[in-house]
Amino acid sequence: SQQGEEDPQALSIQEGENATMNCSYKTSINNLQWYRQNSGRGLVHLILIRSNEREKHSGRLRVTLDTSKKSSSLLITASRAADTASYFCATRSGGSYIPTFGRGTSLIVHP
């Protein structure tokens, strides 16, 4: 079964709006990472948040982590058409070296 699950499965917004997607996971983690995938090819690392961190920023990206709820959110502010992609969260549970990925959120930003 998937360790991390993204929600919603699909998100459609207008350029300039903010996009928020969530990730829920089941077991305790060392860190949580967000990735972006264009056109079903390689994933690009966006941001990593460690289990002892609550919030992290990178440019227009803001990630939060709530370990009590076993959830994370990725906020993309002032979205652009170029942000259109699938977004995945990856988690590593305490005893494993293997990152597991959810099914992703498909984001479409309309110009």
Partner 1 sequence: GAGVSQSPSNKVTEKGKDVELRCDPISGHTALYWYRQSLGQGLEFLIYFQGNSAPDKSGLPSDRFSAERTGGSVSTLTIQRTQQEDSAVYLCASSLDDGGYGYTFGSGTRLTVV
Among 23, 76, 85, 90, binds partner 1 (CB under 8 A): 90
Minimum CB separation of residue 16 from partner 1 in Å reads 28
CB-based contacts of 111, cutoff 8 Å, min separation 6: 15, 81
User: Shortest Cβ distance from residue 20 to partner 1 (Å)?
Assistant: 20
Check residue 43 for interaction with partner 1 (CB under 8 A).
yes
Measured between alpha carbons, how far is 66 from 45 in angstroms, rounded to an integer?
20
Q: How far apart are CA 64 and CA 8, in angstroms?
A: 16
Which CB, 45 or 80, lies closer to partner 1?
45
Please name the residues in contact with 104: beta carbons below 8 A apart, sequence gap of 6 or more: 6, 9, 37, 86, 87, 88
99 is an interface residue for partner 1 by CB under 8 A: yes
**Interacting residues with partner 1 between 4 and 33 (CB under 8 A):** 30-31, 33
